[in-house]
Amino acid sequence: MTDRPDPDLNDALMERYGDAVDAPDMPADVRQSLRRMASRGSCRRFQPTPVPDDLLQTLCAVALAAPTKSDLQQRDIVALKSEDRRARLADLVAGQDWVAAAPMVLVFCGNNRRQRLLHDWHDVPFANDHMDAVINAAADAAIAMAAFVTAAEAAGLGCCPISAVRNDAAAVSDLLGLPEHVFPFAGLAVGYPAHPPEIAMRLPLHVTCHVDTYREDGLKESVAAYDVRRARAQPYNRQRFVATFGTSDTYGWSEDKVRQYSQPERAEFGAFLRARGFQLD
């Protein structure tokens, strides 16, 4: 990570959004923390160096200090320390061979089972068999994962979330020994980066940040401009489903996302959750 330029916070945000963000004066250490978060990027290529156990444990502890809905703590982390298990997980996340080479893979799980056990032990009926219970557990897992990423990146590690653990969630659950009402939310590859991350451009802030009321005036034009800006600076190195859609001369973010979601992805996840005991009403 030594050859990474160290852009100022405003520069990192300009690169990310294409909009000027004028950060206020802040103490140097705060500015540094925010700059690190602003200039982060996912990492899929790692040095072979293992992630030390004490660092991993510290990062898990820091991550689980993040907010959790009503203090219910409905998330767990399964660290795949066995190379064999990581390889087996990699087989279950189609098209992401790089996962097998990650020095560490964590799986963040939603856990609604512990809460139900508490009800058994206290002999009090559980009255929350519905959709929101799933959202709460998934969100707890997502929040813990986000905090882990921030902490790990501060410590010089690179990370990449792997939502594809939900592609074949039943097989992943079997691999991890997950019981009913526990589900894999996302994997997270972790290691020392082989090269500095790219700052993935994001939609401009006027598209995603609203004041008082949701607005989408000029959305189509804003997305078109974002497509152009991004295609110029960060062109895709392959186009999806060329056999169906042909090759596009103006291939950008929106076309890539549309081609991706022209195919069903994880249409069975609801059925998996039901099979694991959840009501989705």
* Residues of span 69-88 touching its own copies by CB under 8 A: 69-73, 75-82, 85
- Residues 226/204, Cβ–Cβ less than 8 Å: yes
Q: Please report whether residue 273 would count as binding its own copies according to CB under 8 A.
A: yes
Tell me if residue 77 falls in helix, strand or coil.
Answer: strand
- Residues 89/165, Cβ–Cβ less than 8 Å: yes
Q: 197 φ, ψ to 5°?
A: -70, 155
The candidate with the shortest Cα–Cα distance to 9, out of 40, 42, 32, 41, is 32
Tell me which residue has tokens 């156990």: 53
Give the residue with the Cβ less far from its own copies, 195 or 215.
215
Q: Please report whether residue 38 would count as binding its own copies according to CB under 8 A.
A: yes
Applying CB under 8 A, among 223, 225, 229, 239 the residue interacting with its own copies is 223
Site string for its own copies, 185-214 (x = CB under 8 A): xx------------xx-xx-x--xxxxxxx
Q: Please report whether residue 62 would count as binding its own copies according to CB under 8 A.
A: yes
Residues of this chain, 146-165, that bind its own copies according to CB under 8 A: 146-147, 149-151, 154-156, 159-161, 163
Largest CA distance in the chain: 64
CA-CA distances (angstroms) from residue 143 to 147, 190, 204? 6, 17, 23
Q: Please report whether residue 255 would count as binding its own copies according to CB under 8 A.
A: yes
Compute the least distance from the CB of residue 92 to its own copies, in Å.
Answer: 15
Q: Please report whether residue 101 would count as binding its own copies according to CB under 8 A.
A: no
- Residues 193/45, Cβ–Cβ less than 8 Å: yes
Compute the least distance from the CB of residue 112 to its own copies, in Å.
Answer: 10
Compute the least distance from the CB of residue 252 to its own copies, in Å.
Answer: 10
Residues of this chain, 107-136, that bind its own copies according to CB under 8 A: 109, 111, 114-115, 117-119, 121-122, 124-128, 130-132, 134-136
Q: Please report whether residue 43 would count as binding its own copies according to CB under 8 A.
A: no
Amino acid at 129: D
Write down the H helix ranges in 39-124: 53-63, 83-92, 113-122
